[in-house]
Amino acid sequence: MIRRKRKDMGGIPTSSMSDVAFLLLVFFLSTTKFDVKKGLGINLPPVSQNAKNKVKINPKNVTKVWIDAEGVITVKTFDSEELVPLNQLETKIRKIVSGNSDMVVSLKTDRKSKYQNMVQALDKLQAAGAEKISLSTN
């Protein structure tokens, strides 16, 4: 007589597979950190090899913003000069720029001044709608 063997079919339980998969998914979703770069953009002027490239600007169209070593901001226009606190810089520059589209804002920062002062001022200038900004130092 041949005995019939009854074998249990071996199987991997797959019902919790989706749980594992979702767990991994959530882990990757939450740990993935996209390195988004954000900043204040500006275009530098090219180096002029000869004097021909130099453009003469009417001094009336230049506003100088001077940041000293301590971070004190002075705004110098053709006919005026005054100390301006950082929180009023935007409205001040907007007033100057809005009437004159050729206005060049020259941001001059002391070599010993902190980078943060310059970035904050540049931020305000861009917020005020100044399109022609030049960076310089003493």
Residues that bind other proteins (CB under 8 A): 14, 17-18, 21-22, 24-25, 28-29, 32, 35-47, 67, 109-120, 122-123, 126-127, 135-137
Token reading at 5: 């063997």
Judged by beta carbon, residue 78 or residue 129, the one nearer other proteins is 129
Cβ atoms 61, 104 nearer than 8 A: yes
In 3D, which of 134, 79, 77 has the Cα closest to residue 105? 134
Query: Which residue type is seen at 97?
Result: V
Provide, rounded to whole angstroms, the least separation between the CB of residue 5 and other proteins.
Answer: 31
Judged by beta carbon, residue 9 or residue 36, the one nearer other proteins is 36
Judged by beta carbon, residue 61 or residue 110, the one nearer other proteins is 110
CA–CA gap between residue 123 and residue 119 (Å, rounded): 6
Provide, rounded to whole angstroms, the least separation between the CB of residue 79 and other proteins.
Answer: 28
Provide, rounded to whole angstroms, the least separation between the CB of residue 124 and other proteins.
Answer: 8
- Residue 20, CB half-sphere, CA atoms under 13 Å: how many? 5
Judged by beta carbon, residue 16 or residue 58, the one nearer other proteins is 16
CA–CA gap between residue 29 and residue 31 (Å, rounded): 6
